[in-house]
Amino acid sequence: MMEISRLELDGRETVISIVSPGELFHRHEGCLDLLVVDGNTEAILPRDPAIPVVVVPSGEACKEFAVLEHLLGEFVRFGLRRDSTVAALGGGAVTDLAAFAASIYLRGLDVVLIPSSLLAMVDAAVGGKTGIDFRGHKNMVGTFHPAREVRIEPGLLRTLSDREYLSGLGEVIKTALLGEPVLLELLETRSEAILARDSLIMKDVIRRAVTVKCDIVASDFREQGRRAFLNLGHTFGHALEACLGLGKWTHGEAVAWGIARAMEVGQALDITDAAWVQRVKDLLNRYGYPITAFPAPAECLLQAMEKDKKRRRGGIGFILQTKPFTTVQRTVDGDIIRSILENRQEVRR
């Protein structure tokens, strides 16, 4: 086991470690009383037969109220107590669901998250956010409930489809843009090894991405300031997911698309350096993200943004960048957003 970070969040300590396959279900600090998996992760690795298992639907389909109610019912059936620990093995949807259920059952159970996707390893499982979707809007209902442990086994990346893997890389790229020059250089110069899922380089990539997120979260747990920067690309991305239907594009594809649009908004406002915009787009293109597509009508996207959980009085606060590793939040006029979404960038302000 290699500890990456030890976070103090809201009075709870989270230990984030890179582990070996044999350590995934090890009882380091007490029992694991229930394991939540989905149909994809159910057969990944041998499990301790003493740990009861609940299987939920795969992907965004698990983040529904009906599935939450079923899972809470299973907590009751298996007799979980206030000192019980819920573990979750899966991607970000499974870890979000299981942690949310644990956060509201008996006013909060301990959680051990075992992310199986790159997206969950570097983002969803780290930082204490939990949630489910509501009426087509991503993560609209949720809580802050840090896990006791996050156990990352990079070998699980081999189980992912290429598209799932690239979805996680979208969040890795976002993290690098926020403030990790070495990680950005790795993404630019070692793309072949990264796409090949080279184990040594991916351990370094994961460690660096997690360290950046932990640093941001530790300084602003409840997203009152700097943590909002982690939403770079997400206002556009979540709107795209809502318009297309959750799951049509992967989250990472939508975020990559949203990052490109955020760069264009910065250009339209004359606050983003043109060379930085081009460098970011070149990187996204290097990994094959569909950033030049405009797959949903502008009006649908704008309406989705109006319902986004990150909206504030006075409008939607977009996360933008002015130059390398320099991030700002701006409320942007709707005409500029419409211009970008209609693939016209002549509007200037």
Q: Which two tokens stand for residue 141?
A: 């209902």
Question: pLDDT tens digit string along 19-52?
Answer: 999 898 876 556 799 999 998 888 776 667 788 9
Q: How far apart are CA 240 and CA 246, in angstroms?
A: 9
Question: pLDDT tens digit string along 148-197?
Answer: 999 999 999 999 999 999 999 999 999 999 999 999 999 999 999 999 99
- In the prediction, which pLDDT does 58 show? 92
* SS3 call for 146: coil
Q: In the chain, pLDDT over 70 holds for what percent of residues?
A: 94
- The residue-averaged pLDDT of 241-245 equals 93
Q: Has residue 126 got a pLDDT over 70? A: yes
* CA 69 from centre of chain: 23
47: Cα within 13 Å, side-chain hemisphere: 20
- In the prediction, which pLDDT does 312 show? 59
- The residue-averaged pLDDT of 9-25 equals 91
Which of 142-151, 159-168, 232-241, 307-316 shows the lowest per-residue confidence on average (mean pLDDT)? 307-316
Q: How far is CA 329 from CA 112, 307, 333, in A?
A: 33, 18, 13
Q: How far apart are CA 235 and CA 262, in angstroms?
A: 9
All structural domains of the chain: 2-158 (3.40.50.1970), 232-341 (1.20.1090.10)
- Amino acid present at 74: E
Question: pLDDT tens digit string along 81-125?
Answer: 999 999 999 999 999 999 999 999 999 999 999 999 999 999 999
Q: Has residue 346 got a pLDDT over 60? A: no
Query: Are the beta carbons of 290 and 264 closer than 8 angstroms?
Result: no
Q: Has residue 79 got a pLDDT over 50? A: yes
Catalytic residues: 107, 129, 171, 213, 223, 227, 231, 234, 238, 251
Q: Phi/psi of residue 16, each to 5°? A: -110, 125
* SS3 call for 259: helix
219, 60, 33, 32: which is closest to 127 by C-alpha? 219
